[in-house]
Structure formats: C-alpha cells, structure tokens
Chain A
C-alpha cells in the first residue's frame, strides 16, 4: 500500500513539478494569465489522453516489431520534449525580461500565441511521458489485486505529488524576479538534460550510437542512483553512476550548446534593446 502511494507520487512528481513551474510563470508574467492557464490545462488534458493511449498500446503489443516502433516513437518524444523545454527556457528568459520592463513602465502586454502553444505542448509531453508508466502500473495493479485500498493509495500518492509541486511553486513565487527565473530555468534545463540522457541511452540500445567506453567511470560508491534520493536526482539531472563515454560526450554537448544559445540570445536582445533606446545628447 505504502509502495503504491510512493510509486504514484514518484511517477507524477516530475510532470506535476514542470506544470507547477509553467503555472507560476504564467501567473507571474503573463498580461493575459487566464489565456495562458487555458493553454496549460488543455496541454495537460491532451497529455492524459496520450498517456492512456500509449499505455494501452504498450499493454496490447504483440510482437517485437511493434515494440521497436513504440521505442522509436518514445525516443523521438524524449528528444522533442528536451528540445522544446530548452527552447522554452530561452523564450521564458527573453519574455520575462521584456515583461519586467513593461510592467515597470505600466504597459500591459499579451504573450505571443506561439509561446502559448509551446507551453501547451511541453505540458502535454511532460504528462504523457510520466503518465504512460503510471497507466501501465495502475492497470497491472488492478488486474492483480482488486482492492479499493490500492485505488485510495494511488489517489493519495497523486494528491501528495500535487501538494509537493504546489509547495514548490508557492515557494518560488515569493522569490524576486531574477532568482525566480534563474531557479526555474535551471530546473527545466536539468530536466531537459535528463531527457537527453534517457534518449541517448535508447539510441545506444538501438545501435544508432556506439557506447565507445562503457562504463567510462564508476561513482556508485558516491551515489548509486537507486533508492529514493538517488532516483530523484537521476530523474532531475540525468546523473548516472556508470555512464558510457558516448553518454558523457552527448551530455557535455547538450550543455555547451544550450548555454551558448542562452548567451547568444541575451547578447542579441541586449543589442536590440540598446538600439531601440534613442541616445540622448
């Protein structure tokens, strides 16, 4: 029972936390918060539907060819999620800076619709990724033990995940602007890098990438990656105790490209805002 509660909590936490961040971002910066929230919740609804569909497909799979197709699909989903989340952080930072300026000069602004769509898709993919496993888990559980206690435990686990995310999102709402963006950006980028890690391992397993040296080092004496804390750290940062050389290289490449992109964007927007202000003589 406690196990069911914990697994549902653990599986829902990531998606719920990402949605919590999107939610507090909308509340905080959007000129039209209600519209932004509608985009988030429709993303969540699509994500739930996708979870049930993917869970059903997984349970109904008959042969290894279908299994391979599902693997391709899920791997593509991982990289798409990582790319969109990274792009969203860049967008949030740019938008956040602009919003702050406009709020200070008491101008109201509506977010661009493309930005809203991005948020919606990120929410849908976050729910679908974690939700699929939860659907399969709960379905199997219902076959094995038809106890109302299990359903209650699963429900409590989900509510606890909501509560955890609510606490976090409440907490970060009180931070000042600069810290709010730094912390939420870091959490989202780390989650995206963890998706890149999972996706890269899938590509290695499918033989699209060689592992080169495997493992290249072993830090399981420091943090094994299993257990409660290790599991959560792995899910949110991409940590692996015994990574392959290929994995380390792709992980490093992700961070170099991402940080380079953010640097470049901030230089561009700084340059353009300087150009917009007429120089006083």
Chain B
C-alpha cells in the first residue's frame, strides 16, 4: 500500500512536466517543407542550433512519401495531400540530411543548424 505514494508522486510529476512542456510548445519555432513532384521545395533549410523546433512537412503529391532521416533519427510516412509535424531539437550545430524514402533520387535535402 505504501507503494502508492511514490507512484502517485511520479504520475503527478509527469503530469506537471507534460503540462509545462505543452505550454512551452506554443513558442516553439516552426519551419515548413513542401513536397511536390517528388521533390522538397527547399533543399537547405537554416535553423538555429540548440533549441527545440518543429518541422511541418506538407505532401502536395497524390502519392505518399516517407520523410526519412538517419541523421535526425526520424521516419514519418505522409499520405498524399497530408502534412506531418515532426518535433526536433535541441540539436548541435551541423548539417543533417533527410530524404523522401519513396523517391530518394529526387527528394532530398538537409537542415543546416547554426
């Protein structure tokens, strides 16, 4: 029975933590990428380093695409006509490559974190 107190404390701490992060989520800078004709509209995107950010990837093609980046450790399937939000950072400065896995020979780019 005594176990319930530490468990409750952890749950409450987690709830407080997620509440704190969700209120901070409003100020997270957002960057946009669009896929059209199996290509990303921006091949290099400059982003500030060491801070959280959000990448919104819009797929304007009819077919699906998978945003795939080993450097960023993110994989996300985006059906045709949909967009996906990808939460990232904080990341150290550097260049991080990404591809559209289903059309890797045309769909690629990188994020430059400075």
Q: Tell me which of A139, A207, A234 contacts B18 (CB under 8 A).
A: A207
Give min CB distance, A141 to chain B, whole Å.
5
Given A226-B70, A234-B70, A244-B73; A140-B90 close (CB under 8 Å): no
Interface of B is mostly: mixed
B80 with A140: CB separation less than 8 A? yes
Bound CA span A231–B75, Å: 12
Docked pose: A215 CA to B74 CA in angstroms: 13
Q: What 1/0 flags go to A1-28 for Cβ under 8 Å of B?
A: 0010001000000000000000000000
Q: Is B103 within 8 A of A3, CB to CB?
A: yes
- List, in ascending order, chain A residues with CB within 8 A of B92's CB: 213-215
- Cβ–Cβ contact A226 & B80, under 8 A: no
Q: Which of A58, A204, A208 is B77 in contact with, Cβ under 8 Å?
A: A58
Q: Which residue of A has the minimal Cβ distance to B20?
A: A207
Size of interface on B: residues with Cβ below 8 Å to A: 37
The distance from the CB of A223 to the nearest CB of chain B, in whole angstroms, is 9
A242–B96 CB distance below 8 A: yes
State the interface size on chain A (CB cutoff 8 A).
Answer: 43
Tell whether A137 pairs with B70 under 8 Å between CB atoms, given A61-B82, A64-B85, A214-B90.
Answer: no
> Within residues 57 to 112 of chain B, which ones have a CB less than 8 A from any CB in chain A?
61-66, 68, 70-75, 77, 79-80, 82, 84-92, 94, 96-97, 99, 101-105
Asked if residues A205 and B62 are in contact (CB atoms below 8 Å), the reply is no
Assuming the contacts A3-B103, A7-B102, A242-B71, asked whether A205 and B87 have C-beta atoms less than 8 A apart, the reply is: yes
A208 to B88, CA, bound (A): 13
Closest chain A residue to B80, Cβ basis: A140
Given contacts A140-B63, A215-B91, contact A224 B70 (CB under 8 A): yes
Is B9 an interface residue, CB under 8 A from the partner? no
Interfacial chain A residues near B61, Cβ < 8 Å: 140, 144
Determine whether the beta carbon of A136 is less than 8 Å from that of B70: no
A190-245 contacts to B (CB < 8 Å): 197-198, 201, 204-208, 211, 213-215, 218, 220, 224-226, 230-231, 234, 240-244
**CB pair A206 B87 closer than 8 Å:** yes
How far, in angstroms, from A13 to B31 measured CA to CA in the complex? 34
A175 → B minimal CB distance (Å): 32
* A215–B96 alpha-carbon span in the complex (Å): 11
**A241 and B87 in contact, given A59-B79, A61-B82, A136-B64 (Cβ under 8 angstroms):** no
Interface status of A265 (Cβ within 8 A of chain B): no
| Distance from B48 Cβ to chain A, minimum over Cβ atoms (Å) | 14
Are B102's CB and A240's CB within 8 A? Answer: no
Nearest B residue (CB) for A139: B64
Selected contact of B73 from candidates A220, A226, A240, CB within 8 Å: A240
Q: Of residues A141, A207, A211, A225, which shows the largest number of chain B Cβ atoms within 10 Å of its Cβ?
A: A207
Bound form: Cα–Cα A220–B18 in Å: 33
19 additional contacts, CB 8 Å, given A132-B77, A208-B18? A3-B105, A59-B79, A59-B82, A136-B77, A137-B63, A137-B102, A141-B63, A143-B62, A144-B63, A198-B75, A201-B73, A207-B21, A207-B87, A214-B91, A214-B92, A218-B94, A220-B70, A220-B71, A244-B73
